[in-house]
């Protein structure tokens, strides 16, 4: 009897590094492969993966920074310890292949796999590679990228433009379920705002201020605000808030007429796959490497997204952008339909199949 094939996934820190793994995990479960996951002890990925009944192996993590911080010295130690943990895990699990979706937890498993001669495939979501991808690529057999423009950062024989896998539920989400969860009737346009799995203080403050002052009285507003960020003073008939939602989040998204969000690649690809009108307020360069701004600019250049940077924000500008987006919805939706999202999962699967051993 043939030995069961085994794939190990890694990636985390935020759910944006986890969600693209889910359609791939489902595909390998259907193929009869054994599936395992290496992640951080306390990251967003742990609860999500364990809820699926997938064996989860937590390792130490050390954040990779581009700037001086005394914490770097401790984190270097944590990274080396995590590499040792990952090596032992690879020795124990003996997988056929490792798939890395990035985030600061992902580098040690990639190095551990390389030490054990386990082939690795990396996926980079953003327009420009993050630090983990830059460090990991030398240990990988293949790198997949979401954006065609991102191929220029990698050797030709290493890189594959695949797009970003999105969950099947993105295509199957139910608007009525979303209305049921929010408690809104759907008689008025619904505005959804969210800032990724960790929430976004800027977006929370912006949306709450404009609910309070009546600027959003024509909308029913749904605010996914992040863990620990509920505001008990926000008691308005046209406003509802949630810390986070699991699968119901996509049903909520389906019920929305317009979305205001950050510029994380996973969020943008899911919005576009669902054909949702949206305005992007990317994370400022003061708080990031600028990848969200690059993502937003790219999709704006295709005519499928609108965006405004935090530093340029005024309510008047935001209101004008919302109105313009709603006015041009037919044109925008036609452009979105020309983008292919359903094929990305299969393209990544084909790359993985090309390198796995056994």
Rounded to an integer, what distance in angstroms lies between the CA atom of residue 356 and that of residue 358? 7
**pLDDT for position 73:** 62
Look-up of token digits 């969020």? 267
Strands (E) located in 11-161 = 34-40, 56-59, 97-100, 120-124, 142-145, 159-161
Rounded to an integer, what distance in angstroms lies between the CA atom of residue 170 and that of residue 249? 10
Rounded to an integer, what distance in angstroms lies between the CA atom of residue 60 and that of residue 80? 9
**In sequence order, which residues have a C-beta less than 8 Å from that of residue 249 and are 6 or more positions away?**
194, 224
Tokens of 166: 């999105």
Rounded to an integer, what distance in angstroms lies between the CA atom of residue 96 and that of residue 141? 13
**pLDDT for position 69:** 58
pTM, whole model, 2 decimals? 0.86
Tokens of 132: 């983990």
Rounded to an integer, what distance in angstroms lies between the CA atom of residue 35 and that of residue 221? 39
**pLDDT for position 47:** 87
**pLDDT for position 86:** 96
Rounded to 10°, the helix 315-327/329-337 angle is 70
Task: Report residue 340 CA to chain centroid gap.
Answer: 18
**pLDDT for position 130:** 85
Tell me the CB-side half-sphere exposure of residue 269, using CA atoms within 13 A.
26
pLDDT, block means (10 residues), the chain with 358 residues: 88 83 95 96 87 94 57 74 95 97 92 97 92 93 95 95 92 96 96 78 94 97 93 96 91 97 92 96 77 92 94 94 95 90 90 87
């Amino acid at each position: 009897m043939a030995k069961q094939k085994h794939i190990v996934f890694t990636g985390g820190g935020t759910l944006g590094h986890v969600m693209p793994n889910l359609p791939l995990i489902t595909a390998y479960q259907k193929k009869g492969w054994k599936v395992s996951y290496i992640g951080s002890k306390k990251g967003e990925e742990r609860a999500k993966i364990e809820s699926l009944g997938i064996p989860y192996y937590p390792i130490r993590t050390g954040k990779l920074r581009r700037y001086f911080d005394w914490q770097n010295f401790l984190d270097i130690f944590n990274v080396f310890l995590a590499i040792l943990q990952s090596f032992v895990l690879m020795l124990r699990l003996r997988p056929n292949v490792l798939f890395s979706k990035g985030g600061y937890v992902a580098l040690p498993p990639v190095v551990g796999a390389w030490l054990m001669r386990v082939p690795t495939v990396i996926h980079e979501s953003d327009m420009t590679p993050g630090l983990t991808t830059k460090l990991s690529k030398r240990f990988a057999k293949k790198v997949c990228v979401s954006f065609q423009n991102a191929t220029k950062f990698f050797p030709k024989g290493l890189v594959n433009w695949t797009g970003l896998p999105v969950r099947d539920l993105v295509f199957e989400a139910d608007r009525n379920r979303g209305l049921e969860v929010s408690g809104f009737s759907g008689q008025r346009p619904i505005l959804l705002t969210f800032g990724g799995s960790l929430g976004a203080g800027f977006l929370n403050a912006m949306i709450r201020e404009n609910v309070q002052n009546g600027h959003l009285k024509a909308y029913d507003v749904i605010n996914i605000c992040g863990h620990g960020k509920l505001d008990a003073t926000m008691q308005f008939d046209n406003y509802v808030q949630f810390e986070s939602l699991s699968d119901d989040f996509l049903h909520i998204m389906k019920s929305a007429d317009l979305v205001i969000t950050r510029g994380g690649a996973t969020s943008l690809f899911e919005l576009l796959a669902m054909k949702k009108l949206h305005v992007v307020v990317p994370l400022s360069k003061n708080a990031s490497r600028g990848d969200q701004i690059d993502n937003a600019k790219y999709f704006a250049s295709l005519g499928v997204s609108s965006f405004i940077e935090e530093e340029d924000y005024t309510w008047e500008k935001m209101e004008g952008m919302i109105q313009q987006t709603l006015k041009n919805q037919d044109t925008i939706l036609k452009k979105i339909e020309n983008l292919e999202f359903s094929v990305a999962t299969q393209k990544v699967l084909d790359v993985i199949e090309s390198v796995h051993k056994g």
